[in-house]
Amino acid sequence: MRVDFAKLRFLIVDDSQFMRKVLKALLHGFGAREVLEAEDGATGLETFMTHGPDIIILDWEMPILDGLEVTRMIRQPTTSVNPFAPIIMITGHSEKRRVTMAREAGVTEFLVKPISSKGLYDRILTVVAFPRPFIRTKNFFGPDRRRGSVNNYAGPERRKGGEAEVIKMRPLLEKTRKT
């Protein structure tokens, strides 16, 4: 199984012309033909609304609108041309807090710089071949933030929105004990 890049339209939004050149070189190497570029968040959003790219590759720190703000606008179900569009955020931020912020905004995949061809290919393969379900709550619309199901999860139930509700689960150890 592989991705046929010639059948996809990409949008790179990064304020660094050099990073855009690097990303474009990699995408063309994979076989992509249509690679659109924008040098700031506002232009990126406009290009997204006008050209409807299939996959957005987005930087975090940018002038005018940053990557999180662009993501939130793309994920507006009533106004966006494609609120389901996969967003791959490429950034130097690697702190867990930052990754969580990106997920909360609706980012699909996260790739920490330095960029490698393998890392980029793998993220694109993931969003194309294994798309995640989307979740809509009162205050979130975006890809399911859960990577898998945890049977003994005892933390707050974020999907309920508003007040956090703790769902108590029996610990696994207790479950395995014979009664």
Partner 1 sequence: MPLPRDQNHQPDSVDHGTHTVIAPVRDLAERAITGGSAKDVDAMLAKAEQNLASLKKDFPEWMATEFAGLEAAWDNYKGKAPGSKALMFRKVHDMRGQAATLGYPLAGRAADGLCKLMDTLAVVPDSVVEAHIQTIRVIIRENVNVEDHPVGVMMIKALDKLSYDLIQQALKARG
Give the per-residue contact string, 131-160, with partner 1 (x = CB under 8 A; - = no): xxxxxxx------x------------x-xx
Residue 147: CB atoms within 10 Å: 7
Contact predicate 32/5, CB 8 Å: yes
Q: Say if strands 141-143 and 134-136 run parallel, antiparallel, or are unpaired.
A: antiparallel
String of DSSP letters for 152-163: T--SB-GGG-SS
Rounded (5°) CA angle 149-151-155:
90
Q: Coil, strand or helix: which one is 122?
A: helix
2 interacts with partner 1 by CB under 8 A: yes
Binding residues for partner 1 restricted to 111-130, rule: CB under 8 A: 113-115, 117-118, 120-121, 127-129
Min CB(172)–partner 1 separation in Å = 25
Min CB(178)–partner 1 separation in Å = 33
Give the per-residue contact string, 32-61, with partner 1 (x = CB under 8 A; - = no): -xx-----------------x-xx---xxx
Size of the site for partner 1 (CB under 8 A): 62
Min CB(34)–partner 1 separation in Å = 6
